[in-house]
Amino acid sequence: MKFWMAIVLGVVQGVAEFLPISSSGHLSLLQHFFCMPEPDALYNILLHFATLIAVCVVYWRDILDMITEFFRGIAALFSREKPRGNPPEGRRLVLLIILATLPLFLILPVEGLVEDLGANPVFVSVMLLVTGCILFLSDRYGGGRKNVRTATVKDVLLVGAAQGLATIPGLSRSGTTISAGMALGFDRNFAVRFSFLMSLPAVLGATLLKVVKVAGAGGIDTELLPMYLTGMVIAGVVGYFSIRLVKLLADKGKFGKFAYYCWIVGAIALIASFLYTPAA
């Protein structure tokens, strides 16, 4: 992998991971139409880790509160004193995110099959068109007043199912989960916040599994570290501003504007898939 390619992939990851336009779909189409080689496995992992850090920077207060309340909750289980009133907001948010992560385990048996779909540019293009439809409807039929206090177990399980569905290449994870939340009556700000916080255990878990796999396959080439670090910094910085942009547009009820982009890219890629065969 060349240095310029590492930079391009870092930018694409930082933008498409959080904007509702599907990072997996864009990377797949870039590789197909521009004959880009498959990214280094470790580099791919590090890019996702960099975007995870971006989420932590934006939502550090929520994460700190969740960690604190998690341990307080564990302590409360072994306490003789009975809890009074409703649990603190941070503790309830931890429970909701755990529940929302459960549907991902249903994807594990078919993970290989889902990843193979990314090699089909026609399929990816159609999924981008579907993503556009989801986003278009989100502003028109989504939005409500539910928050961390009033969201139900059924609500978060359905949002978690949407996250599992969004492992399909071309379907945007952020777009699908945020739209699902708003369709279920989540407040726009809470829908965005919950979507990004919900991504943390999924991305962290996948990162750890892949790091173990890569380490077992031959370790790390230290000569590539400058390229890795450059891509990570780019992905993290771009990802930070992408999250800010999504929050801003969602608050203004303009989240669905990304639909037009997905439709344009999906339509162009679909037509190109039938007309253009990249050189071997």
205 falls within a domain: yes
Dihedral sign, Cα of residue 165, residue 147, residue 194, residue 192: positive
Residue with tokens 């009133």: 85
- Give the range of the structural domain holding residue 264, as residue numbers without chain letter: 3-76+87-275
Instruction: Render pLDDT for 46-58 as a digit per residue (tens, 0 to 9).
Output: 888 899 999 999 9
280 falls within a domain: no
Of 9-13, 65-69, 112-116, the one with minimum mean pLDDT is: 112-116
Checking if the pLDDT of 62 tops 60, the result is: yes
Domain count across the chain = 1
- Rounded to 10°, the helix 153-165/173-183 angle is 150
Burial grade of 120 (CB within 10 A; 0-12, 13-18, 19 or more): middle
Kindly state the tokens that stand for 246. Answer: 């999504």
81 falls within a domain: no
63 falls within a domain: yes
Distance in angstroms (rounded) separating the CA atoms of residues 133 and 256: 9
Determine the average pLDDT of the residues in 227-244: 92
Helices (H), the chain: 3-16, 23-33, 41-58, 60-77, 89-101, 111-116, 121-141, 153-165, 173-183, 188-217, 225-251, 258-275
Q: Which range among 110-124, 147-161, 217-231 has the greatest average pLDDT?
A: 147-161
Q: Which pLDDT belongs to residue 237? A: 95
Whole-prediction pTM: 0.90
Mean pLDDT of the chain: 87
CB atoms within 10 A of CB 209: 11
Determine the average pLDDT of the residues in 183-202: 92
Distances (CA, A) of 279 to 27, 69, 117: 18, 55, 21
Of 45-59, 77-91, 146-160, 191-205, the one with minimum mean pLDDT is: 77-91
Burial grade of 82 (CB within 10 A; 0-12, 13-18, 19 or more): exposed
Determine the average pLDDT of the residues in 80-107: 87
Residue with tokens 């290989």: 112
Reported for 151-155, long-range contacts at CB under 8 A and 24+ positions apart, including other chains, are: 151/96, 151/184, 151/186, 151/190, 151/194, 153/99, 155/181, 155/184, 155/185, 155/186
82 falls within a domain: no
Checking if the pLDDT of 39 tops 70, the result is: no
Q: Which pLDDT belongs to residue 187? A: 92
Residue with tokens 């009074």: 84
Instruction: Render pLDDT for 171-186 as a digit per residue (tens, 0 to 9).
Output: 999 999 999 999 999 9
Residue with tokens 């206090």: 149
Alpha carbons within 13 A on the beta-carbon side of 55:
24
Q: Which pLDDT belongs to residue 252? A: 84
Of 154-168, 174-188, 241-255, the one with minimum mean pLDDT is: 241-255
Instruction: Render pLDDT for 138-161 as a digit per residue (tens, 0 to 9).
Output: 878 777 899 999 999 999 999 999
Contact 29, 253 (CB under 8 A): no
